[in-house]
Amino acid sequence: MTTAWGGILPEGNSGGDVFYYLLAALFGTLAGWADIKVGDLLFTAMIVLAACMLLGFVRPRQPWRWVLMVGVFVPVVEWLAYYFLSQKPERAQIYESFLAFLPGIAGAFGGAMGRGVVDNLFKKK
């Protein structure tokens, strides 16, 4: 099955991941906004970790996509805030926002592994 943009969807997937991609973009934007307003990278990392863990648990196939979708919005929002808002983050804060990918990796793959454990524990016979 091919999609309108020429990509090939795996069997059994009818494009139902669009909602989850939008949710990942929303979570990433929220994490970037929190990093600008609060200014605490650990709080931002917790938002990214929780979002990637949730998305990895709900959609465990290819968990790296959730890391990219959530993590890329943190530096993008920082960059946009630097150019368009009156509250300017420091240049170091923009560079350190790339560190949000690290807890995203742990969250997405941990959520996917947790889903595997739950599926094995409650397997239908």
Read off the tokens for 108.
Answer: 């997405």
Per the structure, the count of domains in the chain is 1
Read off the tokens for 105.
Answer: 């990796």
Expressed as residue numbers, the domain containing 77 is 18-121
Kindly state whether residue 48 falls inside one of the protein's structural domains: yes
Kindly state whether residue 24 falls inside one of the protein's structural domains: yes
Instruction: Pick the closest to residue 111 from 65, 51, 71, 69 (CA basis).
Output: 51
Kindly state whether residue 13 falls inside one of the protein's structural domains: no
Neighbouring residues of 106: CB distance < 8 A, sequence distance ≥ 6: 49, 52
Kindly state whether residue 88 falls inside one of the protein's structural domains: yes
How far is 111 from 125, CA to CA, in rounded Å?
A: 24
Kindly state whether residue 8 falls inside one of the protein's structural domains: no
Kindly state whether residue 106 falls inside one of the protein's structural domains: yes
pLDDT digits (tens, 9 = 90+) for 92-125: 877 888 888 999 999 999 999 999 999 999 988 7
> What average pLDDT is seen over the chain?
85
Whether the per-residue pLDDT at 3 is higher than 70: the answer is: no
Kindly state whether residue 76 falls inside one of the protein's structural domains: yes
Read off the tokens for 116.
Answer: 């595997």
How far is 55 from 59, CA to CA, in rounded Å?
A: 6
Neighbouring residues of 65: CB distance < 8 A, sequence distance ≥ 6: none
How far is 63 from 59, CA to CA, in rounded Å?
A: 7
pLDDT digits (tens, 9 = 90+) for 18-41: 999 999 999 999 999 998 888 888
Kindly state whether residue 11 falls inside one of the protein's structural domains: no
